[in-house]
Every structure is written in C-alpha cells, then in structure tokens.
Amino acid sequence: MDRQLALYPGTFDPFTYGHRDVLERALRLFDQVEVTVGVNADKQTLFTTEERIALIRECTSDLDGVRVASHEGLIVDRAEATGAVALVRGLRQVSDFDYEFRMAFANRKLAPDIETVFLMTSEEYALISSSMVRDAHRWEGDVSKFVPPPVVEALHAKRAATAGAR
C-alpha cells in the first residue's frame, strides 16, 4: 500500500511534545511526513526559521520518514510542488477546531486534491501550546515537561544570550 507524503505545517516556535505526538500519529498513516515550518515575515518568533528547522530535525532524528523544510506562502502550493496528498493538522481542544475547520475549507477550495487530516493529540499534551511554553520560559518556569531536551537547551541558550546582551 502506497501511503505517500503528507505535510505537517506550522510555526513550531518552539517544537513541543504535542507536535511530536501528532507527527508520530501521522507517520502511522503516511510513508513520509514533512514538517513544514512556516515563514511569515510579519510574525515575531522566538527562534529563527533556521533554528526551528535544526531543532525539529534534532527532536525527530529517531523517527523514520520525517523530513523538515520551510515554506513561505500558501501551504497548498508547497503540497502541490512536493506531491503531497494531505495536510496534517493537530487538534488539542475543541477551540482549535473552529480555526482549523475554516482553513481546511479554504485549502480545499484552493487545491481540491489535497486532503486535510485532523489528528487529536494525546490527552497528556492537550494543554501544551508553543505560546504557553514561550510564556513559561519568559518567566523562568520549568518547560522540560512540555518540550524535548534539545528545545529546553535552546531556550536556556536564548535566555543566556538575551541576559548577556543587556
């Protein structure tokens, strides 16, 4: 059975255990999953695109079938260019669904042959979000239960660099 390629798009700033959980679930359905790091010049991120790509690669190096790339523009354009058959979107809570539902319909209008697949994260990760991790980190909270060790190290390095710059 040929299960082909799916894209898992997002900002991933930073990559969390919830992201990894959804990625692992997607790998059960697809031969390959590309974690597609969104580039948005108007959005302020903690980590650069290159840093996010490197962190995701490090956090997923033990998983077969994962590739990581960045993309600026419509995700359906990336899907069509790579031959992807689906977009993977993670759902944590019911509140995520409203936004994701609207995006899936817009993407279907733009690229009718690309399916959107919604995967629920495990219950233990349902309350984890990148913004929550950034907030906890800002106030020097322990984020090690929310993000893989390479991300914890990168967050500490960011804090040290910021403190040194003051």
**Token digits for 105?**
């319909």
| Segment 100-126 mean pLDDT | 95
Catalytic residues: 19, 43, 92, 130
Each domain of the chain, given as residue ranges in start order, spans 5-165
Question: Is 119:22 a contact under the CB 8 Å cutoff?
Answer: yes
How many residues in the chain?
166
Q: What global pTM score does this model have?
A: 0.93
pLDDT in tens, 38-92: 998 788 999 999 999 999 999 999 999 999 999 999 999 999 999 999 999 999 8
Superfamily designation of domain 5-165: HUPs (3.40.50.620)
Question: Is 23:66 a contact under the CB 8 Å cutoff?
Answer: yes
**Token digits for 18?**
């919830």
Distance of alpha carbon 117 from alpha carbon 131, whole angstroms: 23
The helix or strand, by DSSP H or E, that contains position 8, with its residue range, turns out to be strand 5-10
